Amino acid sequence: EPEVTQTPSHQVTQMGQEVILRCVPISNHLYFYWYRQILGQKVEFLVSFYNNEISEKSEIFDDQFSVERPDGSNFTLKIRSTKLEDSAMYFCASSVDRALMAQHFGDGTRLSIL
């Protein structure tokens, strides 16, 4: 069965550095999402992306964050200048359509900011 793949599985970065988290969604999917989960807390929506543009973003997704689909297969989340509070598990998800089909999740990238 096709899967959403995320790399790396664990990223350790110094505070203030830029980090890029990578995702390869399922190939025929059109809607892409990033979520994050701070340790011990619930999963939170960050951003949704469709047709090469952001369709919705949360309050968390400020100017430090950006997303890109650079080559038609990868979907990336960039954090420009990381803060300690960005430490979390970041999940990528994709779906065929907006509401009728389930979102499929990757295994996540654990981001640790030192």
Q: Interface residues with other proteins (CB under 8 A)?
A: 31, 33, 35, 37, 41-45, 48, 50, 55-56, 58, 89, 91, 98-108, 110
- CB-nearer residue toward other proteins: 40 or 71: 40
Distance between CA atoms of 72 and 57, rounded to whole angstroms?
A: 21
Q: In angstroms, what is the minimal distance from the CB of 105 to other proteins?
A: 4
31 within 8 A of 41, measured Cβ to Cβ: no
- CB-nearer residue toward other proteins: 56 or 68: 56
Q: In angstroms, what is the minimal distance from the CB of 3 to other proteins?
A: 10
Determine the Cα angle at 40 with ends 63 and 88, to 5°: 35
- CB-nearer residue toward other proteins: 42 or 71: 42
- CB-nearer residue toward other proteins: 68 or 97: 97
DSSP state of 80: S
94 within 8 A of 26, measured Cβ to Cβ: yes
DSSP state of 86: G
Residue with tokens 């890109």: 68
Distance between CA atoms of 91 and 6, rounded to whole angstroms?
A: 8
Q: In angstroms, what is the minimal distance from the CB of 91 to other proteins?
A: 6
Q: In angstroms, what is the minimal distance from the CB of 81 to other proteins?
A: 25
